[in-house]
Amino acid sequence: MTAEIILFWLFAFLTCAGAIMVAASQNVVRMAFSLVLTLGSTAVLFLLLGADFVGATQLLVYVGGTLVLLVFGVMLTATGPFTRIKSSPADAILSGLIGVVFLFIVASTVTAVNWDGENGIDQKIAMGAHAKAVEGGFNPTQQGNTTRPLGLSFLSLRADRDLKLDLPKESSAETNTAPVVPGVSVVMPGVMPPPKSPVPLSTGYLLPFEIVSVHLLVVLVGAAYLARTKRRATT
Amino acid sequence: MQPTPDKFLFISAVLFVCGVVCMTTKRNGIGILMGVELVLNAANLNFITFSRFTPLGLDGQVFSLFVIVLAAAEAAVALAIALNFYNNHLTIDVDRGDELHG
């Protein structure tokens, strides 16, 4: 019973309890607090899975940003004549039953897979991939491993995949020399042909990163436009 | 010693089911948003689990980062829409948004 197991069970319980409270509660403010509990515990689960940067991002963006936004929405809309929004007890019981059945279906599917067997995850391959990602981090484990490979992969450099490639020695010498054949191919001055890599390098995420950046900008401008206070045309 | 992947997947299943139940039963518009956040978190937990236990490697973490960013964008837009709805109807009960029934 190591500390990791104890932490896992503690935060697994907190995650599930918070999620059930979000689904079961009728009060929006209590739902928001339970969602804070759930998302924070999920961040700790991410840390337990070795994803330190994603866990920190979860805490910063979700708990610090999105949930504050939601709480502001609750505060701005909690006044007025129709504040009490309840569903009937029969609906709640019925949806709870359907939820339990749905959970049984999904959980039986998950537990039906033999994760250690021949058809499951090959533990050697899996641990090897994780160890490779750790090697690409250039840091000892205590300082966090995934930040640098994640940043490099957003720049389309895959340190976790390509750093330890065994390149053939004899082909590496002629990769940077331009094939200059006089009279046949005109080589533009200053333009090097791309060096041929003996092994195809892994692709990164530069284009999705740019797309998501522009998307976030457009979305925030659109949200500010939508949520602004409109002046009535009659006044 | 690490917990096995099926435990993480079970937690993810609980999150997903709670999110779906929350989305379908809440009449409060912001409650529906919270259900969406729960479902996206379940997907994130699956991504991170498979990036730890399979040769998927770092790609799962990159995808979960994208999911987090898109969830933040979705929350901003949906909240702006909820505020507009509140300005027009003086409530965010989604059952009252029935002007477009055809």
Give the pLDDT score at B64: 94
According to DSSP, residue B28 is labeled B
pLDDT surpassing 90 at residue A88: no
CB B49 within 8 Å of CB B5: yes
Q: How far apart are CA B67 and CA B73, in angstroms?
A: 10
Chain A residues with CB under 8 Å of B46 CB are none
Closest CA in chain B for residue A7: B3
* Contact with chain A for residue B75, Cβ under 8 A: yes
- Which residues of chain B neighbour A2 with C-beta distances below 8 Å? 1
CATH of the domain spanning B8-90: 1.10.287.3510
All residues at 6 or more sequence positions from A37 whose CB lies less than 8 Å from its CB, including other chains: A14, A17, A18, A21
Residue A199, amino acid: V
Work out the average pLDDT over A201-223: 90
B4-41 tens-digit pLDDT: 888 899 999 999 999 999 999 988 889 999 999 999 99
Q: Is the ipTM of this complex over 0.85?
A: yes
Least-confidence region, from A122-136, A156-170, B1-15, B73-87: A122-136
Structural domains of chain A sorted by starting position, each given as residue range(s) with its CATH number in brackets:
1-79 (1.20.120.1200), 122-164+201-223 (no CATH)
Is A144 in the B-facing interface, judged by CB distances under 8 Å?
Answer: no
| Range list of β-strands (E), chain B | none
Tell me the pLDDT tens digit for each residue of A115-132: 765 555 666 556 555 566
Contact B44, B67 (CB under 8 A): yes
Nearest by CB: A220 against B13, B15, B76: B76
CA distance B3 to B15: 18
**Record: contact A81-B90, CB cut-off 8 A:** yes
Name the 3-class secondary structure at B93. strand
In this structure, which long-range contacts are made by residues A164-170, counting pairs with CB atoms below 8 Å and at least 24 apart in sequence?
A164/A132, A164/A135, A165/A199, A167/A198, A167/A199, A168/A198
Q: Which phi and psi (to 5°) does residue A224 adopt?
A: -65, -35
Instruction: Quote the Cα angle for A152-A146-A138, to 5°.
Output: 75
As a three-state string, the secondary structure of A57-97 is: HHHHHHHHHHHHHHHHHHHHHCCCCCCCCCCCHHHHHHHHH
Q: Is A123 left (phi over 0), alpha (psi -120 to 50) or beta?
A: alpha
Query: Taking CB atoms and an 8 Å cutoff, what residues of chain A touch B89?
Result: 82
Q: Which residue has the higher pLDDT, A63 or A191?
A: A63
Task: Report how far Cα B59 is from the mean position of its chain's Cα atoms.
Answer: 20
Q: Judge whether residue B67 has pLDDT over 90.
A: yes
Domain residues of chain B, as ranges?
8-90
Q: How far apart are CA B67 and CA B65, in angstroms?
A: 5
Q: Is the pLDDT assigned to residue A157 strictly greater than 60?
A: yes
* Burial of B53: CB neighbours in 10 Å, binned 0-12, 13-18, 19+: buried
DSSP code, position A26: -
Residue A182: what are its φ and ψ, rounded to 5°? -70, 135
- The three-class DSSP label of residue A25 is coil
Q: How far is CA A36 from the centre of its chain?
A: 17
pTM listed for this prediction: 0.82
Interface residue A223 vs chain B (CB under 8 A)? yes
Give the list of residues 6+ apart from residue B84 with CB closer than 8 angstroms, or none: A226, A227
Contact A80 B91 (CB under 8 A): yes
Residues of A in contact with B53 (CB under 8 A): 115, 121, 126
* Dist. CA A51–CA B48, nearest whole Å: 7
- Shortest distance between the Cα of A233 and any Cα of chain B, in A, equals 14
Q: For the segment A17-32, what is each residue's pLDDT rounded down to a tens digit?
A: 999 999 998 888 889 9
Q: How confident is the model at residue B6, as a pLDDT? A: 86
**pLDDT score recorded for residue A171:** 47
